Amino acid sequence: MSKTNRGRFFEDYKLGEVLHHAVPRTVGAGERALYHALYPARHALYSADSFAQSCGLKASPLDDMIAFHIVFGKTVPDVSLNAVANLGYAQGRWLHPVWPGDTLRAESEVIGLKQNSNGKTGVVWVRTTGLNQNDEKVLDYVRWVMVRKGDLDAPAPETTLPDLPDALTVDQLHIPQGLDFTNYDFARAGEPHRWGDYEVGEKIDHVDGVTIEEADHMMATRLWQNTAKVHFDTSARPDGSRLIYGGHVISMARALSFNGLANAQMVVGLNGGAHANPCLAGDTVRAWTEVLDMAETAAPGVGALRLRLVATKGGAPFELRDEAGKYRPEVLLDLDYWALMPR
């Protein structure tokens, strides 16, 4: 019997199966420091205990995307080691802050299967949950991946497509206990713009750009313990390139959005997302945002913005699709999320 893990192929997944992912990980200040070294992240709530305490929290939690990346990385050996592509995300919710010293683990339930017409690949939908050492859910999300078949003669499973709403409603968002933006310090946060200064349909060019380096993205992908071959092994792709981990693009775009959305402090919902085109080393990532919706919350001084964050590697801002409705070739990421902001 082989001692090594070749990863799961499409025919290995069963509807309703729950995958318990290795390996638990205790997180701390090191992850925060490396995150700030890899991305130009400057949101005040995740930078200073004193600022977070002035907003009603006990201390500064780890960045929402640190939690996402670590939980995502746990799933790779069981979900996407043999993936052709990570196709999308939906129904993501951040349910509990992650504090230094927490230990995170992950599990995924298979909620959908569909073999592709070529008979060589299929799409697998999973709902992944991240939990801490107290078995509290810290986040959950749905993602779907296209996975190779190991045995082309294996019969196709019955097609099951999960019902995924277009977006979370504001009452489905989790507001961290105690969060209070009543005495929010705009000067220390870096911008004066509050929730009411934005309007639905507004578009913001975040101006700045960052050129992706091989070393940076491989360090980041290792940091999250993501073992997908396409990110490291030049023989894994026909063109011999290393594909940039899609989460690296998400974090880069989110960090770039500080310029214009410095007060969009906490990401609490992920409505949907697509990695529209591959990102490779040497690409310069830029970002723009469209305001899709606005909502009040029950937390004092806290409003919610639904935002479309688009990352590109060129082209003019605010251009997303061509005349045929397809993503333009320079578009890397199309992400729909909810963020919390002072009212």
139-154 pLDDT per residue, tens: 999 999 999 999 999 9
Average pLDDT (187-210) is 98
The whole-number pLDDT of residue 239 equals: 86
When pLDDT is cut at 50, 70 and 90, the band that residue 17 belongs to is: very high
Average pLDDT (261-290) is 96
CA-to-CA distance for 277 and 255, rounded, in angstroms? Answer: 20
Query: What sign does the dihedral 89-95-98-101 (CA atoms) show?
Result: negative
| pLDDT tens per residue across span 49-86 | 999 999 999 999 999 999 999 999 999 999 988 888 88
The whole-number pLDDT of residue 237 equals: 83
The answer, yes or no, to whether residue 177 has pLDDT greater than 80, is yes
CA-to-CA distance for 111 and 163, rounded, in angstroms? Answer: 10
> Is the preceding omega at residue 268 within 30 degrees of 0, hence cis?
no
The pTM score is 0.95
| pLDDT tens per residue across span 84-139 | 888 899 999 999 999 999 999 999 999 999 999 999 999 999 999 999 999 999 99
> What is the token pair recorded at 37?
């070294």
CA-to-CA distance for 115 and 121, rounded, in angstroms? Answer: 6
Q: For the chain, count helices (H), then strands (E).
A: 7, 10
Do the bridges between strand 284-296 and strand 203-211 make them parallel or antiparallel, or are there none, so unpaired?
antiparallel
Q: H-helix or E-strand containing 293?
A: strand 284-296
The answer, yes or no, to whether residue 222 has pLDDT greater than 90, is yes
Q: Coil, strand or helix: which one is 340?
A: strand
Mean pLDDT of the chain: 95
User: Look-up: residue for tokens 């214009």?
Assistant: 260
Average pLDDT (277-297) is 96
When pLDDT is cut at 50, 70 and 90, the band that residue 338 belongs to is: very high
CA-to-CA distance for 256 and 267, rounded, in angstroms? Answer: 14
The answer, yes or no, to whether residue 2 has pLDDT greater than 90, is no
Domains of the chain (ranges; CATH) run 10-342 (3.10.129.10)
| pLDDT tens per residue across span 225-244 | 998 888 888 888 888 888 89
Average pLDDT (197-226) is 94
